[in-house]
Structure 1
Amino acid sequence: MESNRDEALKCLSIAQRHRDSQNYDSARRFCQKSINLYSTPEAAKLLNIIEREAAAGTAPSSSGPADAGVNGAKASSSARETHASAGTTKHRPQGTAAGQGSQEKREYTDEQRKVVQRVRACAATQYYEILAVKKGCEETDVKKAYRKLALQLHPDKNGAPGADEAFKMVSRAFQVLSDPQKRAAFDQYGADPDSRASGAAAARSPFAGGADGEVSPEDLFNMFFGGGGGGFGGGPFGGGFGGGPVFTASFGPQGFRTTGMRGGGFGPQRRAAEPAAENRSLFLQLLPLIILFAISLLSSLPSLFSTPDPHYSFQATSKYSTERMTSQYKVPYWVNPTEFQAHPIWESIPETHRSEKAAGAVSSKLRGFERVVERTFVSGLQSQCRGELDSQERRMEQHRGLFGIGANWEEVRKIKAEKLPACDKLKEMNLFANYY
């Protein structure tokens, strides 16, 4: 699919880096993944080169995939050896032959299959059940559970059917439960805190990325386990696979690194050996990226010198044990006493009012923080109220019949008279008419 092209090019760049370091197993795997995402002639040629060099045990040549078809040599792929431990059976999906080295092997054990089945049996928003942790657990328990499941379910390690979907469910559960604000909203309403009505809570997430505030499971796995990132190839920063020079920039364990690749080839060129004119060309190509980075840094300077808001919860826990209340809508919330009393907001409250639960009237900083708490609370109520109204309408529709034929109007009146807790709370706060 055309939508997978960028990801395929990223995998191809990673495969080349592994080939440069003579890590042929990883190079072969990422190259095959690139072909599966979006097949290109360059990927097929690179895979051919990797197979030939792996079979011969030679170092990478300086020629690229464009030269791979000249000699017409077709090297056979080496089969990956697998050892089954005592009492453990490995499975191979049907249609994957043992000798097909050009296709990625997707093996798994009975234990891996059971983990996938357990996770897939959970609903999409049963985050605690997905991670197999208790509702009142600490943040360290959430991290331990995610680390264990992510290693068991990562697509590169688990080939059981449904492993990819299970890995995404585990990553999503960790995104929500590891963020105090998102977790507080989820505990309060039981709904996805990043739904359309919960944009305020999503904007506060430390994992927010991109325009929609979402992070892919692979990126989350790399952030959590210290993996490197991909590169910038093509577009305004370099040519395609068939034209002029291509340059990639990547962030990895050794920091920021740039790699040069000549048109049609994938062999890295050391910039120290390049002519001065080519170095200037590289600088000009990276100049837009440098300017964007500088503008972003300047725009974020005010937030760099400001203290972030303290964390809070809508339910009392061992960590959030001090109850407070907003001044405008009287919304109860709990804070960590140690963190809150060390925050500038606490210093802004006069000492004579610090024992009060609702002291927003005497502190402008506290009022600003409480407005954030109330927006999160109201967003959750809106989401829950919308679900209540939809459920009520569906149940009434079942008893109205077709054009009124066979309608049970008594049952319709009973359903319409039912209480809707979230909607009633919005009406009590005089906010229902603003949204519905």
Structure 2
Amino acid sequence: MTDYTAEQKQIVEEILSIKHTDYYRVLKVDKSANDVEIKKSYRKLAIKLHPDKNKHPKASEAFKVIAKAFEILGDNSKRKMYDMTGSDPDSRSGGGNGGNGFAAGSGFQGFPQGFQGFQGFPQGAGMGGGFNDDLFNMLFNMGAGGNNGFSFQFGGNGMNGMGDNGFFFTNPGMNARRRANQQHRTNRRNGQNQQQQQEGPKWLATLIQFIPLLIIFFSMFMNFLSGGSDSYNFRSNSKQFHGKPPVYQYTKFDKYEIERLTPKYNIPYYIDENTLNDFNGRKDSESELSGLDKYVENKYIEQLQFGCKREMNYKKDLIDGAKGILFNDWETIKKAESMELPHCQRLEDLNLL
């Protein structure tokens, strides 16, 4: 007897049958899905696939697939790159120790007793092509305060420590006076910063307390001017539905399997049976369902317009960034100009662009 149900087996096999880089299909969302819809779909799948809940032998593998999909689609910059290329953005990241790097603690010939490495630095950490900015700042003491470098030791009378201004050489004993002066300057800077913070304008603190109220009033005012497209009483051509908009999907998924079409553009969307029963139990059910259809259509077009604007801005940024003072990166410009804009294309198909 197996420890998992037929439903658990089905969801595992379904996820593993999808191409792992087809992240939208993996998370069962549209390309126009917003962040909230992506997070909600991921949570549902995670509950069904987590190895603690699903004892199928491949549940862990399926869980990693949806986790990777959420990692890409849940990050705006990674999602933009994925939408443009259709491949995993992380797969193109560079790194490694490079061909010319050397590892800490491996010994460096030519110094007395060998080069002892960086204290506090992991063994084998390279200084080749994959060397990043954080390590660079840390190694060359360019971080905040200038006191985050490592200490070196070359044999018996080597150089020890890294100060605010780079390397300094000492005899076997550290220059205590120099260290004391450095500490004094650091303490003085910290004291000045603390004093400036304490003497800040009191009116600013008072204003900050009222910022949440100002935001609330501003949102209410803007919602009033816009007619409240997300209000609890949506009206369109004398048709309406009352109450908060129900949950719906643009793709058939799970319990959302009752299909409806929007009035003007025949865009399919799906609601669950409980939502339909709720509308059917109302006095003017047909009128309210028609109002819901119009509301969903407006929201769909809004998402397309937002996505198209985001795609066009990204394309423009790529082209502008490839244009230099002395020369242009024509390969990047050509790639950006031929880049597909799926949201804009959908608007064009609907004769809205």
Highest Rg: 1 or 2?
2
Which range, TM-score by smaller chain? 0.3 to 0.5
Give the structure-1-normalised TM-score. 0.27
